[in-house]
């Protein structure tokens, strides 16, 4: 493994790496040069450097500097400081934001000086700003700890990141991975995300603790976990990430009610249902179609909801009431773990409660349902249930035809169903056949 001693990072000159300014956004370059010309150090850091070295297009560009946030603000007019304790500067260029962070202190060493306290589930210290080295060593993975220096276009590596990049390996910085996960349990989710995104292997020393430390996610604020879950499951790699989360038993920490049923899957459902839903989302993202967290979370929680719904129906609770209660139960269990913002909760309830309503398509009902603002999402949801083998495909086919049909055909279809109408409970036995 690459040896790094304090104060002696590996410095790779421009001629020996592939990062070219041509691949860095014009605005990020402006920020880097402006800081440099004002007499400060300025580096491209984090995922941007990693992705450039891999020949990938970075999602965004982050900058690190020795200038304090106030000094950064004096350099840029189009700049706003955010954050309370640790302040970041956002430099605005129309839609693009370049984030500028002052070197952060605190290091990874538990024994480092500075008072520690818990902030948003992370252990942080009070020595806020630090040196470039400290800034590098408090980062999560070695491949995320590389610096591109605008002063001489070199790449600076304190933690063996270049070697790990070469090897396709994710390794936490420092020599005590467990400690690093304890400092911030979200790193367990990040390692899974990067493994899928980069196609890298997780170093065995960083992989082993994943099986043991999942419970630490319970200490992370639910709102932060919601953001992380979106990054995990709604950025085009949902299926891969889901499978890895299951493998490391981390999924159970995020969605325990769903996970319980995944372990008891019958006829390959519900695992198929969740997988298909994620695959669907991944495809939509690839095709640059819009995706909504409401649909994603409706998929993720459907299994416990439909089970509870069926149970209530069997106890003679009316369908509307049963769905309300089933959804309420699911949220009551889920929200303390991964907090789904209110604006997604109502659409989720609607997608679910439309499911049994789609099964009754006699009389004027189908016309009313078509105008429901959540009809399209509910129909897509029904297609997914059909693909996963939960419901007979005749129902989805009926709705597909009904939407495409003209008035006359629609009238005939409704007449037809009035005669052959048959109720099929949402959580009824799986029907095979076509
Ligand atoms: P992405 O391509 O998903 O943006 P990224 O590596 O840029 O990947 P960010 O979440 O944008 O990830 O974070 C930027 C950088 O900040 C990371 O590369 C890493 O150096 C550091 N970082 C982010 N989160 C953590 C964390 N939880 N612990 C330590 N360092 C972190
Ligand atoms: Mg980033």
Q: What pLDDT shows up at residue 363? A: 84
Element (H, E) at 98: strand 96-102
For 87-121, what is each residue's pLDDT tens digit? 899 999 999 999 999 999 874 444 444 445 555 66
Residue with token string 């007499």: 39
Dist. CA 377–CA 332, nearest whole Å: 23
The answer as to whether 201 is a domain residue is no
Closest Cα to residue 303, out of 338, 352, 238? 352
In this structure, what CATH number is given to the domain that contains residue 253?
Answer: 1.10.3090.10
- Residues 245, 192 contacting (CB under 8 angstroms): yes
Residue found by looking up tokens 């300014």 in the block: 21
Examine the domain organization and report whether 269 and 129 are in the same domain.
no
The residue among 138, 157, 178 that closes a domain is: 178
Query: Does the C-beta of 334 come closer than 6 Å to ligand 1?
Result: no
CA of 210 to the centre of ligand 2 (A): 23
Contact 206, 140 (CB under 8 A): no
pLDDT < 50 positions in the chain = 1-4, 107-115, 420-421, 428-434
Any domain includes 228: no
Coil, helix or strand at residue 89 = strand
Probe residue for ligand 1, chosen from 25, 45, 46 as the CB with the greatest number of ligand atoms within 8 Å: 46
Contacts of 282-289 with C-beta under 8 Å, sequence gap 24+, read 282/236, 282/237, 282/238, 282/239, 285/234, 285/235, 285/236, 286/236
* Domain edge (last residue) among 158, 178, 198: 178
Residues shown for the chain? 434
Determine which helix (DSSP H) or strand (DSSP E) holds 170, and give its type and residue range: strand 169-170
Query: What total of structural domains would you count in the chain?
Result: 2
Q: What is the pLDDT of residue 118?
A: 59
Beta carbons of 232 and 276 less than 8 angstroms apart: no
Please return the burial class of 163, using the count of CB atoms within 10 Å of its CB with bins 0-12, 13-18 and 19+: middle
**Cβ atoms of 130 and 105 closer than 8 Å:** yes
Tell me which of 51, 66, 135, 140 is the catalytic residue: 140
- Do 154 and 289 sit in the same domain of this protein? no
264 shares its domain with 169: no
Tokens representing 87? 């302040």
Q: In CATH, what number is assigned to the domain containing residue 20?
A: 3.30.460.10
Q: Does 280 share its domain with 399?
A: yes
Identify whether residues 126 and 274 lie together within a single domain.
Answer: no
Please tell me the distance from the alpha carbon of residue 35 to that of residue 213, in angstroms, as a whole number: 41
CB 88 within 8 A of CB 28: no
Which helix (H) or strand (E) element contains residue 203? none
**Contact 139 CB / ligand 1 (< 6 Å):** yes
State whether 287 and 152 are in the same domain: no
CA of 52, nearest ligand number: 1
60 is catalytic: yes
Instruction: Report the atom number in ligand 1 closest to the C-alpha of 235.
Output: 3
Assess whether the C-beta atom of 161 lies below 6 angstroms from ligand 1: no
Full residue range of the structural domain in which residue 305 is found? 246-423
Q: Quick one: which of 102, 89, 109 has its CA closest to 128?
A: 102
Asked whether residue 226 is domain-assigned, the answer is: no
With contact defined as beta carbons under 8 Å apart, do 382 and 402 qualify?
A: no
Q: Is 164 a catalytic residue?
A: no
C-beta of 104 in contact with ligand 1 (< 6 A)? no
Is any atom of ligand 1 closer than 6 Å to the C-beta of 62? yes
């Amino acid at each position: 493994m690459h040896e790094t001693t304090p104060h002696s990072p590996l410095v790779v000159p421009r001629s020996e790496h592939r990062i070219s300014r041509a691949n860095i956004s014009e605005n990020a370059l402006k920020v880097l040069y402006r800081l440099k010309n004002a007499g400060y150090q300025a580096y491209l850091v984090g995922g941007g450097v990693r992705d450039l070295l891999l020949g990938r297009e970075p999602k965004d560009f982050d900058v690190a500097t020795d200038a304090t946030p106030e000094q950064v603000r004096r350099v840029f007019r189009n700049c706003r400081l955010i954050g309370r304790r640790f302040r970041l500067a956002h430099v605005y260029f129309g839609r693009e934001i370049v984030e500028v962070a002052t070197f952060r202190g605190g290091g990874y060493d538990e024994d480092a000086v500075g008072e520690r306290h818990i902030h948003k589930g992370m252990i942080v210290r009070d020595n806020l700003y630090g040196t470039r080295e400290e800034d590098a060593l408090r980062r999560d993975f070695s491949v995320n700890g590389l610096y591109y220096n605008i002063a001489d276009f070199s790449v600076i590596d304190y933690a063996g990141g270049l070697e790990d990049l070469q090897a396709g390996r994710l390794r936490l910085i420092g020599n005590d991975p467990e400690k690093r996960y304890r400092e911030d349990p979200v790193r367990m989710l990040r390692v899974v995300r990067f493994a899928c995104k980069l196609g890298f292997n997780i170093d065995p020393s960083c992989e082993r603790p994943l099986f043991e430390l999942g419970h630490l996610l319970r200490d992370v604020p639910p709102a932060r976990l919601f953001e992380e879950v979106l990054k995990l499951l709604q950025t085009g790699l949902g299926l891969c990430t889901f499978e890895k989360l299951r493998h490391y038993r981390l999924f159970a920490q995020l969605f325990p009610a769903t996970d319980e049923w995944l372990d008891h899957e019958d006829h390959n459902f519900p695992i198929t249902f969740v997988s298909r839903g994620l695959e669907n989302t991944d495809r939509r993202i690839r095709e640059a179609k819009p995706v909504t967290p409401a649909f994603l979370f409706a998929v993720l929680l459907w299994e416990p909801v439909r089970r509870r719904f069926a149970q209530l129906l069997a106890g003679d609770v009316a369908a509307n009431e049963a769905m309300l209660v089933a959804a309420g139960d699911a949220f009551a269990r889920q929200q303390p773990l991964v907090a789904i913002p209110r604006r997604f909760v109502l659409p989720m309830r609607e997608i679910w409660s439309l499911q049994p309503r789609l099964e009754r398509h006699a009389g004027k009902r189908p016309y009313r349902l078509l105008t429901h603002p959540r009809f399209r999402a509910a129909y897509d949801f029904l297609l997914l249930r059909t693909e996963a083998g939960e419901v007979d495909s005749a129902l989805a086919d009926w709705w597909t035809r009904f939407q495409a049909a003209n008035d006359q055909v629609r009238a005939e279809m409704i007449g037809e169903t009035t005669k052959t109408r048959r109720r099929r409970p949402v959580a009824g036995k799986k029907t095979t056949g076509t």
